[in-house]
Structure 1
Amino acid sequence: MKPITEYQDYRQYMRDFYAERKRSSYFTWRKFASLAGFASSAYLKLVSDGQTTLSKPGIPKVARAMGLEGFDYTYFTLLVKFGNAKNDDEKESALSELEHEARMNKIRIVDADAFRYYETPACPIIRELAPIMPGATFGEIASKIRQGVTAAEVREILQFLVNANLLQKNADGTYEQTQKTVRGSKEAIPLAIRTMNRKMSELAVRSIIKDSVEERNFSGITMGIDKPTYDRITEEIDIFRKKIVDIANECQTIDQVYQMNLQIFPLTDKIESSDSRKEK
């Protein structure tokens, strides 16, 4: 069975634990529940299938039944907190705690790297900026970023990007980008992307106020459409985004870092058609 630090879903860990025990001995969900001290023989099966959540008092019981101690116990507890979170703020809190515990125990978890990269706009900005400022000091890099980053933060972020293999530091002290993409679990990456999109949108609002019209381009359309039309529009956006990436990759004289947000989102709830209302 894989180490618990390779899991991002506590339910999957419970399912794998059950399957492992079942392969080597007579083991049932009833037996699992009994080991954990639950009266209901079906409770842990319902938890592992996602039909209910593992309660806070149940965490130490299940962890003890699976033989988890020390950091593994803490990691499982935070996995449950992450999996049971009701909103993005709670999920972010759980992932931050996971990252902290991993650093304290000198254990690297992939999702921590992925979330760390996306949780602050400074990471992708510095990843783009450092290679085009060879020989620059941390303070000089910080001075070029319009969102108020300090030299100490630049130094710490550069170290993270190198450790995560998102930047390569050469022998002469210059940086270059690797081809490595930021990877993580299906549980954490959507959360990280939502966090990045939210913070980049906040920077877009600041740009409207602070930046001249010669440096920025903002436009918008308010329109009434249906789902098939929405699907067609998002397909065109994907095609356009890929074309923009190709154009950017052709640039040989990079001298500035930009962010382009492509957004389409609902402003109203769906309106039932008159035919649908008549049917009711």
Structure 2
Amino acid sequence: MKSLLEYTSYRQYIADYYADRKARSAFSWQEFAKAAGFTSPVYLKYVSEGRFNLSASAAEHVAESMHLAEYERAFFVELVKFDHAKNDTEKRAAFSTMLSIAEKHKAKVVDAESFRFFENWKNPVLRELAPAMPGAKPLALAHACRPEITAAEVSESLNFLVKADLLQKDESGNYKQTDKTVTTGPMTVTPLAVRGLHRQMGEIALDAIEGVPQDERHFSGLTLGITREAYEKIVEKIAEFRKEIIAIATSETATDEVYRLNVQFFPMTKKSLNKKG
């Protein structure tokens, strides 16, 4: 059975823990529930299936019944908080605590590097900018960013990018990308960071309306009345368009500027005009 710190779902861990014990002994859901202090013999089975939730205190008892080490118990409790979080702020706080626990014990959390990459706009920008400015010191890179950041922030981001193998640093101190593009992929935690990145980039876009000359930026928009079928077709076209843009950008090795393209398509009304009530 893999380490608890490799899980991003406490329900899956409970299910896997039970299956592992069951394969080695006459272990039952009733025995598991009783050890954790539940009167219902199938309570934890239902938890693993998503029918019931664990409270914070119950999470402590379940962790203890599984004989987890102290740091693993703390991780399990945060895993429960992460699953039950009501908003992105709570979810991000729980996952950050999980990362801290894992780092202290030199363990790797699934999606951690992708989460950190997309969590802050500086990472994708510096991943493009640093290779385009060979020999540049952190202060020069900081001044080149829009909005401007500090040299310390640049150093922190570059160190992370190298550690995560998103950039490589040669003996001369120059950087190059390990891959031309970075995508989110089918990850479980990364979308949380991506939502935050979209918010950050949206705020920067607002500043660019007034802060960037019109011949150096392009803003346009459409307001459309559509059906669900049209929505799905438009989303497909947007996906195709993004691939074409990536192909254009990656066809050249040189970089003059680092640009951000926000593709946003969202509802301006709350319910279908063709439905009553």
- Same fold at TM > 0.5: yes
- Comparing 57-66 with 94-103, greater Cα deviation is found at 94-103
Which residue number corresponds to residue 237 of structure 1? Answer: 238
Question: Residues 252, 164 of structure 1: CA spacing in aligned structure 2 closer, same or farther, 3 A cutoff?
Answer: closer
How far apart are the structure 1 equivalents of 2:4 and 2:153?
A: 31
1:183 positional shift: 6.2
Output the amino acid matched with 1:226: T
1:184 positional shift: 7.6
Which residue number corresponds to residue 266 of structure 1? Answer: 267
1:186 positional shift: 3.5
1:214 positional shift: 1.0
Listed as ranges, the matches of 1:111-122 within 5 Å are 111-122=111-122
Output the amino acid matched with 1:48: S
How far apart are the structure 2 equivalents of 1:260 and 1:54?
A: 41
How far apart are the structure 1 equivalents of 2:187 and 2:258?
A: 29
1:272 positional shift: 4.2
How far apart are the structure 2 equivalents of 1:52 and 1:146?
A: 47
Provide the alpha-carbon RMSD of the alignment.
Answer: 1.7
1:204 positional shift: 0.9
Which residue number corresponds to residue 217 of structure 1? Answer: 218
Which residue number corresponds to residue 13 of structure 2? Answer: 13
- Comparing 123-132 with 187-196, greater Cα deviation is found at 187-196
1:41 matches 2:41: yes
**Identical counterparts, % of pairs:** 45
1:199 positional shift: 1.3
1:71 matches 2:77: no
Output the amino acid matched with 2:198: N
Output the amino acid matched with 1:170: D
Listed as ranges, the matches of 1:163-242 within 5 Å are 163-179=163-179, 181=182, 186-242=187-243
Q: What is the SS of the residue equivalent to 2:93?
A: helix
1:220 positional shift: 0.5
Which residue number corresponds to residue 150 of structure 1? Answer: 150
Q: What is the SS of the residue equivalent to 2:168?
A: strand
CA deviations on 1:50-102 (whole Å, 9 max, x unpaired) are: 11211111011100111111221111111111011111111111111122222
Question: Residues 215, 203 of structure 1: CA spacing in aligned structure 2 closer, same or farther, 3 A cutoff?
Answer: same
Output the amino acid matched with 2:42: A
How far apart are the structure 2 equivalents of 1:109 and 1:77?
A: 15
How far apart are the structure 1 equivalents of 2:70 and 2:172?
A: 42
CA deviations on 1:191-230 (whole Å, 9 max, x unpaired) are: 1221111211111111112111111100000110000011
1:54 matches 2:54: yes
Question: Residues 148, 100 of structure 1: CA spacing in aligned structure 2 closer, same or farther, 3 A cutoff?
Answer: farther
Listed as ranges, the matches of 1:124-135 within 5 Å are 124-135=124-135
CA deviations on 1:124-143 (whole Å, 9 max, x unpaired) are: 00011111111111101111
How far apart are the structure 2 equivalents of 1:185 and 1:13?
A: 19
Q: What is the SS of the residue equivalent to 1:168?
A: strand
How far apart are the structure 2 equivalents of 1:27 and 1:165?
A: 43
Contact 1:131 1:174 in 2 (8 A): yes
1:103 positional shift: 2.7
Q: What is the SS of the residue equivalent to 1:263?
A: coil
Question: Residues 181, 257 of structure 1: CA spacing in aligned structure 2 closer, same or farther, 3 A cutoff?
Answer: closer
Contact 1:126 1:158 in 2 (8 A): yes
Which residue number corresponds to residue 96 of structure 2? Answer: 96
Contact 1:9 1:187 in 2 (8 A): no
CA deviations on 1:215-252 (whole Å, 9 max, x unpaired) are: 11000001100000111111111111100000001123
How far apart are the structure 2 equivalents of 1:121 and 1:4?
A: 30
How far apart are the structure 2 equivalents of 1:139 and 1:103?
A: 29
1:104 positional shift: 2.8
Which residue number corresponds to residue 138 of structure 1? Answer: 138
Contact 2:111 2:188 in 1 (8 A): no
Contact 1:169 1:176 in 2 (8 A): yes
Question: Residues 184, 217 of structure 1: CA spacing in aligned structure 2 closer, same or farther, 3 A cutoff?
Answer: closer
The unaligned stretches of length 5 or more in structure 1 are none
How far apart are the structure 2 equivalents of 1:92 and 1:27?
A: 35
Q: What is the SS of the residue equivalent to 1:176?
A: strand
